[in-house]
Structure 1
Amino acid sequence: MRIFAALIAFNAGLALASPAVSHEFWIEPEAYQISADGTVQGILVNGEDFEGTTLAYLPLRFDRFTIASGMRQANVENRIGATPALDVAPFAEGLHVASYQSRMSVIGYAEWEKFLKFANHKDFEDIEARHDARGLPREDFREGYWRFAKTLVGVGTSAGRDFRTGLAVEFVALDNPYTDDLAEGLRVQLYVLDDLKADGQVELFEKAPDGTVEVTLHRTDADGIATLPVKAGHSYLVDHVYLREPRAELAEEADIAWETLWAALTFGVPE
């Protein structure tokens, strides 16, 4: 059933399967902190350098979309085609975590160099040797990709802690960006398929109040933790991409050579 659902998502989005789709996907709140009587709102964005195209609320494109705070969690419900896709009342004061898991989409590579550039950018180790060892063609092959995005929104006091929401690849913020002292940076811990990801590349997109974006690369330690430098008044997108060989059944059904699982976390830092 999962493969069938993935293929439905692919067929529905075939017209969108272009190189641009392989860039980052994230949830970007209208405001990272709101009052206790406010509304948690955020757009789904596909793009690069922390700028991109807004996507509507389309249940055919995701397997789960939730909002949680403390011990409470609910599915994000909205009108089909609505923007912003995230538009819900908060549970109460405190830190709220929105989490999104896409269905699989597919992108094709006509040229090896395009895939190699992407693979090098995202730090896929020994990709040429791994690709060739499996007897894969160096042109006209396809990749299936999944999006796993989170955002942190502070409501009222903004008190609380981020936590694992069950995404296949997931960042967990070990510090609360709205209440903790971030003079030494904000720590994130990276999980990949239920394991801590040591020595993983973490790409950090920092957006200043004037809209300019700076990109830096970081790495996780033996415990999967990266400490990220942050500034007051800036917003952040944290990104990691995991590459794996697809299961034989999925590879055959979807005609893909590789799977990529994209983790994203967004948050802001108060003035």
Structure 2
Amino acid sequence: MRYAWLLLFSLPAFAHDFWLEPSTFRPAVGQKVTVGLRVGQDFAGDPVPRSAELLDQFTIRDAAGERTIDGFENLDPAGYLRIDKPGLAIIGYRSKPYRLDLPAEKFAEFLKTEGVESIVKFRGQADREHFYRYAKAVVGVGSAGFDRRFGFRYEIVPETNPLAASPVRLRLLFEGKPLAGALVTAIDHEGVRLTARSDSHGRVAIALPKPGVWLVKSVWMVPAPAGSDVDWESLWASLTFER
């Protein structure tokens, strides 16, 4: 546990993915589900304990509405809930901003890895930024509700049911509007990695070749507001589900 906490704030961890890992993606009505926070690479991660210092929002949206996910401070899993209604539900996590400084070499490596071409011209400069995490997971069984939005600043929204559709069609929203040119990556636990970029309407289609648990992720960067003590804000969005 201590290692995962340190990993989250270590320099290399900036380029690590962050996602939600429920104890089951297909709970029955009335079943208790725990939700872990994970940080890692290639869809292999370490647990991140619940922390009021990190957490800004941790909720679930289903047919009954939206409610807070409870949990115990400094423990993993970070949350627990009970499924009250049949159908699909979406779990959402939003972090508070955290400051990070990267030397020019590391910043350039990050921009290349995450495909943030909108600011690649700045790769020779050092990086001072705030980063934010926006993670979602689809749980339950059914065909409705997969497209529920949380209104996160950066959000991956399915437009077809990711549990069954082929290809899976997604939309990238930045501040509620479609975002063009964002790199989207889908990864499974066996090393399959697929990428695509969002079109002028923020849409992307990815043909997932097999069933299983999938992580879809994307990173976007924008200039920090004038007068702040950083140059950039990096926004990390993820979506996990099981087909």
Fold conserved between structures, TM > 0.5: yes
Shift of 1:249: 3.0
Judged with a 3 Å threshold, the aligned counterparts in structure 2 of structure 1 residues 117 and 61 are, in CA distance, closer, same or farther, namely same
Tell me the distance in 2 between the aligned counterparts of 1:18 and 1:221: 32
TM-score, scaled relative to structure 2: 0.89
Equivalent residue, structure 2, for 1:172: 157
Which shows bigger deviation, 44-53 or 15-24? 15-24
CA deviations 1:147-186 (Å, max 9, x no partner) are 001000015x5643322111000011112234x4x2x311
User: What are the residue-to-residue correspondences of 1:8-157 with 2, within 5 Å?
Assistant: 16-110=9-103, 112-125=104-117, 127-130=119-122, 138-139=125-126, 141-155=127-141, 157=142
Shift of 1:46: 0.9
221, 232, 235: which one aligns with 1:258: 232
The amino acid across from 1:175 in the alignment is T
Equivalent residue, structure 1, for 2:145: 160
Tell me the distance in 2 between the aligned counterparts of 1:38 and 1:158: 19
Equivalent residue, structure 1, for 2:216: 238
Judged with a 3 Å threshold, the aligned counterparts in structure 2 of structure 1 residues 36 and 16 are, in CA distance, closer, same or farther, namely same
Shift of 1:42: 2.1
- Judge conservation of contact 1:17–1:106 (CA < 8 Å) in 2: no
175, 186, 206: which one aligns with 1:228: 206
Equivalent residue, structure 2, for 1:196: 178
Equivalent residue, structure 1, for 2:197: 219
- Judge conservation of contact 1:100–1:148 (CA < 8 Å) in 2: yes
Q: SS of the counterpart of 1:97?
A: strand
In our comparison, the structure showing a higher alpha carbon Rg is 1
Judged with a 3 Å threshold, the aligned counterparts in structure 2 of structure 1 residues 172 and 14 are, in CA distance, closer, same or farther, namely closer
Which shows bigger deviation, 232-241 or 188-197? 232-241
Query: Which 5+ residue runs of structure 1 have no aligned equivalent?
Result: 1-11, 133-137
CA deviations 1:72-99 (Å, max 9, x no partner) are 1101111112221131011211111011
Q: SS of the counterpart of 2:208?
A: coil
Q: SS of the counterpart of 2:77?
A: coil
Tell me the distance in 2 between the aligned counterparts of 1:15 and 1:166: 25
| RMSD over equivalenced CA pairs, Å | 2.3
Count of aligned residue pairs for this structure pair = 239
Bigger strand fraction: 2
